[in-house]
A and B are shown apart, each in its own frame.
Chain A
Amino acid sequence: MAKSIDISDLDIYYGDFLAVEGVSMSVRARSVTAFIGPSGCGKSTLLRSLNRMHEVTPGARVDGKVVIDGQELYDPMIDPVEVRRQIGMVFQRPNPFPTMSIYENVLAGSRLNSRKLKKSEADDIVERSLKHANLWSEVKDRLGKPGMGLSGGQQQRLCIARAIAVEPQVLLMDEPCSALDPISTSAIEDLIHELKTDYTIVIVTHNMQQAARVSEDTAFFNLAGAGKPGRLIEFNPTKKIFSNPDEPATEAYISGRFG
């Protein structure tokens, strides 16, 4: 059920400020694509434009095309709310809903949209999603407890469970491990490995080892200077990027010579 994403000539603006310029790439289905690059290069902005989340920021707009499953995301007839139902997102900091229990958090996607679920169906979804997120064994005895009571790594896996409970086509992850300790990070990375059999995953990361560990393809972004827009420098299979990149700038960044 996973889909590929084709991006062509995408420019992203915040008001008059051009944040990302001229990105074209295509993200393969059922694989993990990593976005790397220095801070401010627009990789998070690009990620958020893939499910129209950037529109939440006032003044943000987009030129160019993002095509998923033959449909142009920025077509005026497209409903951004529907887009987000199909393209889930996991954020940098874990953000479970504080008023909801673990159980309710997993079901939030359906409940908040007032989908009627039978008790057995709901139980199924919760169990399946939590198992998928490798959290089931840790929380199965306290599903009624508040989601905020979990540790940071558990909260992040709860957020992943919440995102996959609505069975999206694509899962976007915006630095999902940057607020976590190494053990939780490795748990999440294992999870990403398992999830890619069912989902198309795009992950933004600051950690190059993480990109190398989890992704099939890697896109390197950079910006020419402060105030200049971010651009896609190189997009290649991860193995090639980390061993023999086409662009000298990529090699300089990866070998730690700048950024």
Chain B
Amino acid sequence: MSTTIATRDKAPRRRGDVIFAGIARGAGIAILVALAGVALFLTLEGFPALGASGAALDGAANFLDYVWPLVFGTLLAAILALLIATPLAIGVALVIAFYTPRRISGVVGYMIDLLAAVPSVVYGLWGIAFLGPQLKPLYQWLEEYLGFLPFFAGPASSTGRTILTASIVLAIMVLPIITAISREIFTQTPQLHMEAAMALGATRWEMIKLSVFPYARSGMVSATMLGLGRALGETMAVAMVLSASGVVTFNLISSTNPSTIAANIALNFPEATGLKVNALIASGLVLFVITFAVNFAARAIVARTERERS
């Protein structure tokens, strides 16, 4: 009995393999094309705004004058949000990783993930209707007792819809991101390091300080950067909560607040026509570049750490 093993006399590539690999590759290439499209079309549609002035730019002399206060507001809101969110998020991640029994920590982690699942427009509602009014007394207190600081110069907003309120809402929205990544890194801390610290008679906090934080430092930094990327681009919560007037100021509790790029687009796009649309798209491109830079830096930190560890 002789069976032939070879069934074909041409190059042994199967049609199914070629097609399937082709589709998979095509899907990958589609992503390249889509991203190139994002960059190309935004540039194309944003370009006319560079030559504009006057009404299309809300009265600014040129595009740079138009976008600068927005960039300022975007950075201010995002950085404030991070100042609030990072310590809380790391605290929460520590609780989940080291302070609760394993069974409970799963449930707790899920509750924090739920925070990430809430749509941003609902955060916006909550910010206007609940958080703002609740914070009003705090702002009045801050104005009264800390008014000598430029941040709290006031006069305190009567609605609570200030950039500080918007930042707090943003902080709540980025907190689950930072928590999730930090928690992951904390739980990856080598058991050996932790036991070594424990064996020296360290308390739990000393163990965390000696063996967990050094190991997790770069991960925590990149988690924060990713949170920053999210905070920079977040639109609706800010658009709804903030009562913006496009000024450049460090006063955090008054009723005249800087706006952010994203919120400015959301507020003005539905009614915009002509060059105004181009100006908004150009500002979107600026936002894209900023978030890209931040995310890129975050990934670079992660990649470097991974290389060092492997």
| B14 adjacent to A68 (CB under 8 Å) | no
- Measured CA separation A27–B20 after assembly (Å): 37
B12 CB contacts on chain A under 8 angstroms: 76-81
Q: Which residue of B lies closest to A167 (CB)?
A: B3
- Measured CA separation A173–B187 after assembly (Å): 40
From A82, A86, A169, name the one whose CB has the most chain B CB atoms within 10 angstroms. Answer: A82
| A79 adjacent to B6 (CB under 8 Å) | yes
Q: Which residue of A lies closest to B4 (CB)?
A: A71
- Measured CA separation A73–B5 after assembly (Å): 9
Does any Cβ of B come within 8 Å of A179's Cβ? no
- Measured CA separation A77–B12 after assembly (Å): 6
A69 CB contacts on chain B under 8 angstroms: 2-3, 5
B11 CB contacts on chain A under 8 angstroms: 76
| B5 adjacent to A83 (CB under 8 Å) | yes
Per-position 1/0 for A51-88, Cβ under 8 A of B? 00000000000000000111101011111111100100
| A68 adjacent to B1 (CB under 8 Å) | no
A83 CB contacts on chain B under 8 angstroms: 5
What's the tally of chain B residues with a CB closer than 8 Å to chain A?
13
| B3 adjacent to A79 (CB under 8 Å) | no
Q: Which of B1-48 contact A (CB under 8 A)?
A: 1-12, 14
B14 CB contacts on chain A under 8 angstroms: 79, 81
B4 CB to closest chain A CB (Å) equals 8
- Measured CA separation A169–B4 after assembly (Å): 11
Number of A-B contacts (CB under 8 A): 37
Does any Cβ of B come within 8 Å of A1's Cβ? yes
| B1 adjacent to A78 (CB under 8 Å) | no
B186 CB to closest chain A CB (Å) equals 31
SS class, residues of chain B in contact with chain A: loop
A82 CB contacts on chain B under 8 angstroms: 5-7
Classify chain A's interface size: 10 to 19
Q: Do A1 and B1 form a contact, CB below 8 Å, given A77-B12, A81-B14?
A: yes
A79 CB contacts on chain B under 8 angstroms: 6-8, 12, 14
Q: Which residue of A lies closest to B1 (CB)?
A: A1
Per-position 1/0 for B48-76, Cβ under 8 A of A? 00000000000000000000000000000
A68 CB contacts on chain B under 8 angstroms: 5
A71: contacting residue among B1, B5, B9, CB under 8 A: B5
A77: contacting residue among B1, B2, B3, B9, CB under 8 A: B9
| B5 adjacent to A77 (CB under 8 Å) | no
| B3 adjacent to A75 (CB under 8 Å) | no
- Measured CA separation A77–B6 after assembly (Å): 7
Q: Which residue of B lies closest to A84 (CB)?
A: B5
| A86 adjacent to B8 (CB under 8 Å) | no
Q: Which of A1-58 contact B (CB under 8 A)?
A: 1
A75 CB contacts on chain B under 8 angstroms: 6
Q: Which of A70-125 contact B (CB under 8 A)?
A: 70-71, 73, 75-83, 86
Q: Do A86 and B3 form a contact, CB below 8 Å, given A78-B12, A79-B12, A80-B12?
A: yes
Q: A76-B11, A77-B12, A79-B12 are in contact. List 19 more A-B contacts (CB 8 A).
A: A1-B3, A68-B5, A69-B2, A69-B3, A70-B2, A71-B4, A76-B12, A77-B6, A77-B8, A77-B10, A78-B12, A79-B6, A79-B7, A79-B14, A80-B12, A82-B5, A82-B6, A82-B7, A86-B3
- What are 28 A-B residue pairs whose CB atoms fall within 8 Å in the complex? A1-B3, A68-B5, A69-B2, A70-B2, A71-B4, A71-B5, A71-B6, A75-B6, A76-B12, A77-B6, A77-B8, A77-B9, A77-B10, A77-B12, A78-B5, A78-B6, A78-B12, A79-B6, A79-B8, A79-B12, A79-B14, A80-B12, A81-B12, A81-B14, A82-B5, A82-B7, A86-B3, A86-B5
- Closest 4 pairs (CB-CB, A-B): A79-B12, A78-B6, A71-B5, A82-B5
